């Protein structure tokens, strides 16, 4: 059920962007807003990990491969967003 909420929120954001319902002042600060939200999300995730004693106690068992998989997931996600955003920017310049 949460996935529907996530899709609805993303769709609402896309609609706001498409209809230009976001003020230029907020749009100019969008990178800062995204960065702050990302840092907050990472903080909350860290708190949840810290609260869960089972995760902390078994952290050494997770091993090097789990850390590598997580690092590559993050790296390739960032890379994919960068490529897609450059593609979208290129497409919007053509029109």
pLDDT digits (tens, 9 = 90+) for 52-75: 888 777 777 777 778 889 899 999
Tokens of 86: 């450059």
**H/E/C letters for each residue in 25-56?**
HHHHCHHHHHHHHHHHHHHHHHHHHHHCHHHH
Contact between 14 and 21 under an 8 Å Cβ cutoff? The reply is no
Does the pTM of the predicted model rise above 0.75? no
- The backbone region for 20, taken as left when phi is positive above 0, alpha when psi lies in -120 to 50, beta otherwise, is left
The answer on pLDDT for 41 being more than 70 is yes
Note the pLDDT of residue 81: 92
């Amino acid at each position: 059920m949460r996935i529907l909420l996530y899709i609805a929120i993303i769709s609402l954001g896309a609609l706001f962007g498409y209809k230009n319902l976001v003020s230029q002042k907020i749009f100019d600060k969008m990178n800062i807003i995204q960065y702050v939200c990302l840092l907050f999300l990472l903080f909350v995730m860290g708190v949840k990990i810290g609260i869960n004693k089972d995760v902390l106690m078994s952290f050494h068992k997770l091993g090097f491969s789990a850390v590598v998989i997580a690092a590559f997931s993050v790296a390739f996600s960032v890379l994919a967003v960068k490529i897609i955003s450059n593609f979208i920017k290129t497409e919007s310049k053509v029109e």
